[in-house]
Copies of this chain bind each other. A is one copy, B any other.
Amino acid sequence: MQVFSETLVEDNYKMSDAIRDIEKAFSHLEDINQAPRTVIPTGEGAKAMLYMPCVDLKQQLGTVKITSITPENPKSGKPTTQAQIVITNLENGEHEAIIDGSYLTRLRTGALSGIATKYMSNPDARILGMIGTGGMAFEQFLGNMEVRPIDKVLLYNRTTEKAESFKQRILKKYPDLEVIVTGDVSDLVKKSDIINCQTPSNEPVFNAEDVQPGTHINGIGSYQPSMKEIDYKIFPKADWVVVDDLDGVKEESGELIEANENGTFTFEEIDDELKTLSINNQKRKSEDAITVFKCVGAAYFDLAVAIGAYQKLNK
């Protein structure tokens, strides 16, 4: 049983690896089987254990991500979400490794936004507006940086101090970037080529009317029916609505569930799953199109990056 810590994985497995490995998985999804996620509540509110198993019959490897959600943790400086991924060799049945899944979860979610941005946004998109600068935000930033010539980043966060320290984190890695913290979401939305939302908000974090032609939006924050960070009025206004996993968003994307229920935008009107864009190299049809990617996550994304990291670490 090999044990890989978060630091070890983070030092060796990068955004470009994750984007490549997830797109590689898209190309042979017929070999990948995942079971529905199991959730066991363990206390008040969202406190729970989550289990996401998946197997890749082509590579003969299986993974299961085990995630704890501990909402009280931030009060004592610990992360809300903690994950580990166990890797099993399906040829001989041996459980070969346990690999920290916290960074990998952030990375694969960032990679999904990166892939969406690559196919859906304008190729010359250079202004990235980020709403929410919490735990998932840095890899969201990296995913966009990987695929577009971003030179300006606008940051909004409910608590401004956190946006300021996030700005410092960005500048440490990219000192030449222009990074602006703003308290004016409306202004951020109007000026951004790409809007990336990563909040657990139960109400819209922007106004659909502010979204300009040519904008691409990634929404990765809401993963429960009660969470609705994206203003659902953007869906009928958008030219292209793509999701990471159709079955998943029907259960977990609060904004799409609400839009479907009130008839503003039904599930049938969702245009594509992300895999189709990757497989067919499908791009936006016009420079002025408004495009939206909604992501809730699925076990096979975890499998793709866990196997990728495991194989890279064992080279």
Most B CB atoms within 10 A — which of A41, A57, A62? A62
Give the Cβ gap from A27 to chain B, nearest Cβ, in Å: 20
Could you tell me the distance between the alpha carbons of A80 and B80 in the complex, rounded to whole angstroms?
Answer: 37
Residues from chain B with Cβ under 8 Å of A62 in the complex? 40, 42, 49, 68
A29-63 with Cβ < 8 A to chain B = 33-36, 38-43, 47, 49, 51, 53-55, 57, 62
Contact of A86 among B34, B40, B66, B91 (CB under 8 A): B66
Q: Are A68 and B84 in contact (CB under 8 A)?
A: no
Known: A35-B38, A42-B90. A51 touches B64 (CB 8 A): yes
In the complex, whether A73 has a CB less than 8 A from a CB of chain B is: yes
Q: Are A78 and B93 in contact (CB under 8 A)?
A: yes
Contact of A42 among B55, B76, B79, B86 (CB under 8 A): B55
In the complex, whether A92 has a CB less than 8 A from a CB of chain B is: yes
A69-98 with Cβ < 8 A to chain B = 69-70, 73, 76, 78-84, 86, 88, 90-95, 98
Q: Are B55 and A53 in contact (CB under 8 A)?
A: no
Q: Are B53 and A68 in contact (CB under 8 A)?
A: no
Interface size of A by CB at 8 A reads 44
Q: Are A73 and B95 in contact (CB under 8 A)?
A: no
In the complex, whether A171 has a CB less than 8 A from a CB of chain B is: no
Could you tell me the distance between the alpha carbons of A5 and B54 in the complex, rounded to whole angstroms?
Answer: 25
Could you tell me the distance between the alpha carbons of A55 and B38 in the complex, rounded to whole angstroms?
Answer: 13
Q: Are B42 and A49 in contact (CB under 8 A)?
A: no
Give the Cβ gap from A194 to chain B, nearest Cβ, in Å: 32
Bitwise interface map of A from 287 to 308 toward B, beta carbon under 8 Å scored 1, else 0: 0000000000000000000000
Contact of A84 among B1, B78, B81 (CB under 8 A): B1
Could you tell me the distance between the alpha carbons of A116 and B47 in the complex, rounded to whole angstroms?
Answer: 36
Q: Are B82 and A94 in contact (CB under 8 A)?
A: yes
